Amino acid sequence: MALPLLMIFLGLIILVWSADLFVEGAAAIADHLGMSPILIGMVVVGFGTSAPELSVSALSALEGSPGIALGNAYGSNITNIALILGVTAVISPIAVHSQVIRKELPILFGVTLLAIAQLYDGDLSRLDAALELVVFAAVMTWMVIQGMKTASADKLEQEVQAELKEHAMSQFQAWIWLIAGLVLLVISSRMLVWGAVSIARDLGVSDLVIGLTIVAIGTSLPELASSIMAARKGEHDLAVGNIIGSNLFNTLAVVGVAGVIHPMSIPLEIVNRDWPLMALLTLALFAMGYERNGNGSINRLEGTVLIAVYAGYTLYLINTVVSA
C-alpha cells in the first residue's frame, strides 16, 4: 500500500500546482486577447479551478471506475460548501455583494435538483450526460450575458481586475504556463486515480468512498487556496463566485463528460446519502446569500456549523470504511 499512498500524495501536490499554472496562464491569455475581467473570472477561472475534478473524473470513467468519477464530482461539491466556505468564513466573514453571484445561486440549486432527477433511476446514460452538457452550455451562455450587462458596476468585476493586475505576465509566458499546467494535470490525475483505485481494492471498500474523501478533498485544494486568499484580501465575491462556479461545473460538466465517456450505474448511496447532503448545503448557501434584507453573508458562526457538518459527514464515511 506504500506505493499507492505515495502516488496519491505526489499526484495531489502536482495536481494543485498544475491547476494553478493552468488558471494563471489561461487568465493571462484571455486578458491579452481582450476578454473582460468579469468573463475571465466567471469562465476562465471557473473552468480552471475545476480542471482537477474534470481530468480525474474523465480518466476514472475511461478506466471503468465510476465510483471515483461520481464521488469526486459530488464529494467536491460537498467539500466546497461545507469545508472550504466554512474555513474561509471562520478566517474572514464573507459578504456577498455581487449581483451576478446572487443570480447564480438559484441556478445552482436548480441544477442540483436536476442531478437527482437524472440519478434517481439508478443509471447515468449517455443521453443523460449529454443533457447535462447542454444545460451547462446554456447556463454558461446566460451567465456571460448577465455578466456583460452588469460588468462596469459589479463588485466581482473590480476584484477580478485587481487580481489580473497583480499576476500580470507576457503572452509567451502565459502560453508556457497554460501548456505545462495542462500536461501536468493529465499526468498527476493518472497518478491519483491509480493510487486511489489501488487503495480501495487493498482496503476492500468501494471506490465511491475513496472518491468522496481523498480524491474530492485533493481536487478541491485549488478552490480552498483561492477562496482563502480572496477572503483575506477582502475579495469576498471572488471567493463565493469560485465555489458557485466550481459546483455548477462539477454537477453538469464533470459528471456530463464522465457519463458521455462511460455510461454508469449510480450507487444507491449517492441517492440516499450524498445527494441529500449536497442539496441541503446548496439550499443553505442559497439562504445565506440572500439573508438579512438582501445583504447576504456567511459569518463565523455559520462557517463553524458548515465545518461541523463536513466533519460529521467525513467521520460517517470513515466509519463505513472501518465497518467494511
Query: Which residue range forms the structural domain that includes residue 139?
Result: 37-155+201-323
For 131, 167, 203, the CA distances from 52, given in Å and listed in that order, are 22, 21, 25
CA angle 203, 204, 208 (to 5 degrees): 95
Report yes or no on 180 lying in a domain. Answer: no
Contacts of 269 (CB under 8 A, 6+ apart): 206, 208
> Would you write out the chain's pLDDT as a tens digit for each of its 324 residues?
788 888 888 887 887 787 777 777 777 777 777 766 656 665 666 666 677 888 888 888 888 877 888 888 999 999 999 999 998 889 888 877 666 566 778 888 899 988 888 878 888 899 999 999 999 999 888 877 766 665 554 555 666 666 666 667 777 888 888 788 878 877 887 787 788 778 777 777 777 888 888 888 877 877 777 777 777 767 666 777 778 888 988 999 999 999 999 898 888 888 889 999 999 999 888 888 776 555 667 889 999 999 999 999 999 988 876 565
Look at the chain and count its residues: 324
CA dist., res. 202 & res. 246, Å (int): 31
Which pLDDT does position 27 carry in this prediction? Answer: 73
Report yes or no on 296 lying in a domain. Answer: yes
Report yes or no on 206 lying in a domain. Answer: yes
Report yes or no on 29 lying in a domain. Answer: no
Which pLDDT does position 62 carry in this prediction? Answer: 85
Instruction: Assign residue 254 the CATH number of its domain.
Output: 1.20.1420.30
DSSP class of residue 124 equals E
DSSP of 171-226: HHHHHHHHHHHHHHHHHHHHHHHHHHHHHHHHHT--HHHHIIIIIHHHHTHHHHHH
Q: Which of 254, 76, 236 is nearest to 158 (CA)?
A: 236
Which pLDDT does position 129 carry in this prediction? Answer: 92
Element (H, E) at 95: strand 94-95
Count of domains forming the chain = 1
Which pLDDT does position 148 carry in this prediction? Answer: 64
- pTM of the full predicted structure? 0.81
CB atoms within 10 A of CB 153: 8
Report yes or no on 165 lying in a domain. Answer: no
Which pLDDT does position 156 carry in this prediction? Answer: 58
Report yes or no on 146 lying in a domain. Answer: yes
Report yes or no on 178 lying in a domain. Answer: no
CA dist., res. 214 & res. 192, Å (int): 10
Q: Contact 158/243 with Cβ under 8 angstroms? A: no
Report yes or no on 71 lying in a domain. Answer: yes
Q: Which of 186, 219, 183, 238 is nearest to 38 (CA)?
A: 238
Q: In the chain, what is the straight-line distance between the N-terminal and C-terminal CA atoms, in Å?
A: 18
